[in-house]
Structure 1
């Protein structure tokens, strides 16, 4: 029987998923949404704030992003505003690969969902 390297799961109160999974030096975040505001710029800012907080909880940051997947409810109308908020937030020296698509959302008030993976911070020896 082969062994599996350690898997750390954080934010496990939701019965459906973990908010953070760390495995083999990679931090995976679940898809993040926000419905406390009703416009794309506000939702995107709030989602990216949550991304920062979750990455910090995992001991890493947006400077270590590897991938980003973004789902928009209305790509035709919201892509430009999403990109403006994204570009202001992103570390310009450490851009991840990214995909953005239009998708129906789980609830009508959700305009954007973002999921990222990042390299875990390494300990200096």
Structure 2
């Protein structure tokens, strides 16, 4: 069975759960914020999505971070280091990509439920 947690847009789920694995994606709701603040807000959204799916950042398996400007990865790293569960750090990869609109960061995580 696949469980979907509805998003703000009808065509997108905030999280999808299947066979004990949850996948979720988040961006910052505040597009005018700096890279650091967008990263913090996106990570907070990840926390909420995981909680709504019945899990937490302690159970993240992998994280993929898409950045609009790789030269500002240090700001993401600062937000990540403030947020990550250091007892259970997941694998993480960062890619520089063209993001939509004013998004500076988009984060995708896969976690166990």
Q: Shorter chain as normaliser: what TM range?
A: over 0.9
Task: Tell me, in whole angstroms, the C-alpha distance in 2 between the residues paired with 1:33 and 1:51.
Answer: 9
Greater C-alpha Rg: 1
1:78-97: per-residue Cα shift (whole Å, max 9, x none)?
11111011011000111111
Distance, in Å, in 2 between the alignment partners of 1:51 and 1:25 is: 17
Q: TM-score, normalised by structure 1?
A: 0.84
Q: CA deviation at 1:35?
A: 4.7
Count residues with an aligned counterpart.
112
After TM superposition, the score normalised by the length of structure 2 is 0.93
Structure 2, gaps ≥5 residues long: none
Cα distance in 1 for residues equivalent to 2:55 and 2:23: 11
Indicate the residue corresponding to 2:94 in structure 1: 100
Aligned-CA RMSD value? 1.2
How far did residue 13 of structure 1 move? Answer: 5.2
Q: Post-superposition shift, 1:14?
A: 2.2
1:110 and 2:103 correspond: yes
Report the 3-state secondary structure (helix = DSSP H, G, I; strand = E; otherwise coil) of the residue aligned with 1:83: helix
Q: 2:64 aligns with which of 52, 57, 69?
A: 69
In structure 2, C-alpha distance between the alignment counterparts of 1:47 and 1:118, rounded to whole Å: 16
Q: 22, 41, 50: which is aligned to 1:46? A: 41
For residues 64-122 of structure 1, the C-alpha deviation after alignment (integer angstroms, 9 at most, x for no partner) is 0011010000001x111110110110001111111101000111x111010111100xx
